[in-house]
Structure 1
Amino acid sequence: MVSVHDPVRGAAFGELRRFRQEFYACLTARADAVFELADAVLCADGPVRSLAELSLVAEHRRGHGSAYAAVVDGRIDVERLRTALAGVSLPRAADGRLVLAVDITCWLRPEAQTSPERILCHTRGRGKGQAIMIPGWPYSMIAALEPGRSSWTAPLDFQRLAPGDDAASVTAAQLRHLLDRLMAAGQWRQGDPDVLIVADAGYDGPRLAWLLRDLPVQILTRLRSDRVLRRAAPPRDPTFIGRPPRHGGEFIFADPATWGVPDVSTTTETRLYGTATAQAWDRLHPRLTRRAAWTGSGDLPIIAGTVIHLQVDRLPSGATPKPVWLWWSGVHATDTTSPADVDRLWQTFLRRFDIEHTFRMIKQTLGWTCPKIRSPAAADRWTWLVLAAYIQLRLARPLAADLRRPWEKPAAAHRLTPARVRRDFRHLRTKTACPTAAPKPTRPGPGRPAGQPNQRPAQRHDVHIVTATTSTRTSKKNTATTKPRPRRRG
């Protein structure tokens, strides 16, 4: 029972109960089967391996056939569920700012020849650390980050990338719709600090900033170490005849002689990385060219920002540290940006890697990529089911007890990991809303007669190799005459 003298636990139970009721209201077909399947994901004793094994969990009161039917034939009102996710309590930075991380993770399906809309996904860490392309379904995820060191995030949106989609355009549309829902839910009001969006080097930060320039957001992305940016154009010489220059001198990441004196410099002592030195240069922009996404009419925009160079003494893994280059959409560092702001930015970027803990949790423990689902629609349905299960774990975080293993160290209540909260969810479930009805007795169908082969084989689909951001031109390389890779000009 929840004590009436503990308002914190009472409020947490109320929010968890409301979300479970709202999640059930979002299920428009086979609601009982889908809801109990989500409870089975949360209450299973170990990692989820298959849908058939979930039917053996006590919280799943239906047969194994209903588990497959829930994924294949169930229906979820995704827009209503997205609205419910925007209304739950979200973590905020020390200054009250919302920090959102965007990233793409893949559901690899290399042998699913009957599954349509598969795309070659860039995968690392297999074999000897080589980067290989594996067919699968890529998903773009947006999650709110916590300020300190944590393995928790607050996922807010998932969207599968279809063949031919541009990742930057899809992510920008995702963020635009998400910010509209956050404003409608009261998570951001006029006068609040701008929402900070953090992304890795796979995203084009200046383009995201340009696509979202009418929203109260700031973009913080990592840049490759071979980039070349441009300074602001110098004042026009009145004696000069002709078109004035649009770009200033080059800022070459690989050439310190072109850096000049930084506008802001700071040094911080850290426990994990030793001495961290950050330098910032104001009003640097890439020189855009008319290709890929910049093929419209008119002059190409000048997207200025602040570049931050971070260098640390050591890494926790023991590897040799390499410099990190960050691009922030804010400008005028010499006027409004202090060394504390620069430290806040690079420390916030390090928190972006917390989203990797969420990916590992939903894949290895909640079994997001375990079912062998054929259709992309069923994959999307299962994705939202797993996402709703993870959100329930996050809401149950202040309520769970530490059911640790004998070899595990004790953890404080606010330091429990998602896996430890999941161990106690079975006991918390009985105190929350369980709106499903009792299952009706049924008999299994006759199935295909024995000895009769399948007369309608499933259709085979090709893997989509190119997307909107991938060039279709191929070139033959001659190892004897191959020139060194030129530096990137933008």
Structure 2
Amino acid sequence: MSLSQDDVREDPFAGLSRFRGEFYSCLTRRADALFELVDAVLCADGPVRSLVELSLVGEHRRGHGGLYDALSAGRVDVARLRRALAEVPLPRAADGRLVLAADLTCWLRPSAHTSPERILCHTYGRGKDQHIPVPGWPYSVICALETGRSSWTAPLDALRLAPGDDAATVTARQMRELVERLITAGQWKDADPEILIVVDAGYDVPRLAFLLKDLPVQVLGRMRSDRVLRRAAPLREPGVKGRPPRHGGEFVFGDPATWNTPHVQTVTETRLYGTASARAWDRLHPRLTHRSAWTSQLGALPVIEGTVIRLQVEHLPSGATPKPVWLWWSGTDGTATRIDLLWQAFLRRFDIEHTFRLFKQTLGWTCPKIRTPEAADRWTWLIVAAFTQLRLARPLAADLRRPWEKPTPSDKLTPARVRRDFRHLRPKAACPAEVPKSSRPGPGRPPGGKNTRPAPRHDVHTVGQPGSAKQRTKKSTTPRSRRTG
């Protein structure tokens, strides 16, 4: 399949039909049932609350038994579907570059004792400002971001983390494969600006930049406010003996006396945040040690230079007191215009949270009580394909607003509003699923019969510190040292 942006711009129905046909070709087993299940997700009235209720949607012509059988025994050609997603026209930033955001989202399964490969997932805001680990399946999702104020993203890849996986290593491998697919699909050419990868503070940004240094990408991510970086090593004076230094003076995020004069300083007026001031310091790097994720690095550890950006806004939309945001960019020698584009691109990273909310609250991604992780992966890819169809139907949808909602221009519709009109757009698009054949349901378990083969129980996996020989048994009473890397 080769989707041309010009063709989709001239005839959006052709682009939608072409993707639906390619998506159907990716379903190699129980294709008709899986395809109609996605149509039921897109055409259901209101949010998806239960998986079995999707069998009552008119677009789903099969029974509830076929629905569960499709998720349990169906098959999706994930490699082909990934290529199809990479060929769909993608949004661009203001300077024409691709901006990719990676983040983790969890499918919580605290009571699924018979489901294997569950991991303790960190949840925020549950209870009274408590961070409680809950068993579930964490997924690493990569989306392409738009420019400007929008709740739209373009999900391009989803990967479930298995027990023992390191998030930074898995994300780097996942991002590398995605960038290679985008280059093969013609989304990036030699003359185009480098792809910008945006991540949050949960990732080791310098390590991610080191793992992807051979690709045409730049990495931008947030750092904790207690980090300590190093400046470039000073020039060696003639006649001085001994080993030359590899690191310069310290740059302590929490100590303004170590900042010195910034290389770039900008002030921008924004509507949501008021006055936004950004200061950038060039050529700063972390001082790495042979521990944690760098234990397998042989020889001298690399010096990964980048630019530190400190963003301070006047106020937040929620009314809370704003705190400075520290960013690290893998590039150097940034201009004032470039620094402004970077921190604005980082703020657009939070649009991926709107996509996660739509997945869970509207499309019903975490509603099914699926037992096996393979079926969970299958259902996840169906949700990604459903959202891609909403994105392709975006220029075609009408605003079916509720009486209490304000009118919205057709080019400003949210994904939930586009979904309201998808039922009227579906008959005009291709529908390769065949009509179901008449059949009788199986006998099932005889009345009064007991289940003599109970499902096995599985323990919840915990993630240990990389490179540690054993887990820490009790909380240390020594004061926590500052982060020097």
Q: Under TM normalisation by the shorter chain, which class is it?
A: over 0.9
| Counterpart mapping for 1:448-467 below 5 A | 448-467=445-464
Aligned equivalent of 2:3: none
Whole-angstrom CA distance in 2 between matches of 1:415 and 1:347? 20
Q: Distance in 1 between matches of 2:407 and 2:102?
A: 32
CA distance in 1, matches of 2:330, 2:306: 4
1:483 CA displacement: 4.4
What amino acid maps onto 2:393 in structure 1? Answer: A
Q: Does 1:171 align with 2:168?
A: no
Does residue 485 (structure 1) correspond to residue 483 (structure 2)? The answer is no
Partner of 1:227: 227
Q: What SS is found at the alignment partner of 1:141?
A: strand
Q: Does 1:474 align with 2:469?
A: no
Q: Is the 8 A contact 1:164 1:468 kept in 2?
A: no
Equivalent residues, number? 478
**How far did residue 297 of structure 1 move?**
1.4
After the TM superposition, which residues 70-469 of structure 1 pair with which residues of structure 2 at under 5 Å, given as runs? 70-295=70-295, 296-331=297-332, 333=333, 337-467=334-464, 469=466
Moved more, 282-291 or 441-450: 441-450
Deviation at 1:338, TM superposition (A): 1.6
Query: Identity rate of aligned residues, in percent?
Result: 73
Which 10-residue stretch deviates more, 307-316 or 6-15? 6-15
Deviation (angstroms), 1:475: 4.6
Instruction: Using the TM superposition, name which of 34-43 and 10-19 deviates more.
Output: 10-19
TM-score by length of 2: 0.97
Following superposition, the deviation at residue 477 of structure 1 comes to: 3.7
Q: What is the alpha-carbon distance in structure 2 between the residues aligned to residue 470 and residue 344 of structure 1?
A: 37
d(CA) in 2 for partners of 1:112 and 1:39? 28
Residue 53 of structure 1 is matched in structure 2 by: 53
Residue identity matched to 2:47: P
CA distance in 1, matches of 2:9, 2:337: 36
Q: 3-state SS of the aligned residue for 2:162?
A: coil
Indicate if the aligned counterparts of 1:99 and 1:195 stay in contact, CA closer than 8 A.
Answer: yes
| Counterpart contact for 1:146–1:153, Cα < 8 Å | yes
Post-superposition Cα deviations, 1:259-317, rounded to whole Å, max 9, x if no partner, equal 00000011111111111110000000001111121112100000000000011110000
CA contact (8 A) 1:311 1:324 kept: yes
Name the SS of the counterpart of 2:219 in structure 1.
strand
Cα separation, 1, equivalents of 2:221 and 2:360: 25
Classify 1:468/1:13 alpha carbon distance in 2 versus 1 (closer, same or farther; 3 Å): farther
SS in 1 for 2:428: coil
Deviation per CA, 1:186-230: give whole Å up to 9, x if none.
Answer: 100011100000000001110010000000000000000000000
Local SS of the residue matching 1:121: strand
Matched with 1:14 is 14
Letter in 1 for 2:222: R
Number of the residue aligned with 1:69: 69
What is the CA distance between 1:327 and its match in structure 2? 0.1
3-state SS, counterpart of residue 144 of structure 1:
strand
Other structure's SS at 1:379 match:
helix
Give, in whole Å, the separation in 2 of the partners of 1:63 and 1:350. Answer: 44
CA distance in 2, matches of 1:444, 1:391: 34
Q: Are the aligned partners of 2:8 and 2:15 in contact in 1 as well (CA < 8 Å)?
A: no
Code of the aligned partner of 2:483: R
What CA distance in whole angstroms lies between the structure 1 residues aligned with 2:73 and 2:84? Answer: 23
Amino acid at match of 1:22: E
Gaps of 5+ in 1: 1-5
State the alpha-carbon separation in 1 of the partners of residues 473 and 335 from structure 2: 48
What is the match of residue 3 of structure 1? none
Post-superposition offset of 1:9:
6.8
For 2:26, the equivalent position in structure 1 comes to: 26
> SS of the residue aligned with 2:292?
coil
Letter in 2 for 1:71: L
**Residue-by-residue CA offset, 1:390-420 (whole Å, 9 max, x unaligned):** 0000000000000000000000011100000
CA shift, 1:486, in A, is 2.1
Give the alignment's Cα RMSD to 1 decimal. Answer: 1.4
Q: Distance in 2 between matches of 1:56 and 1:238?
A: 82
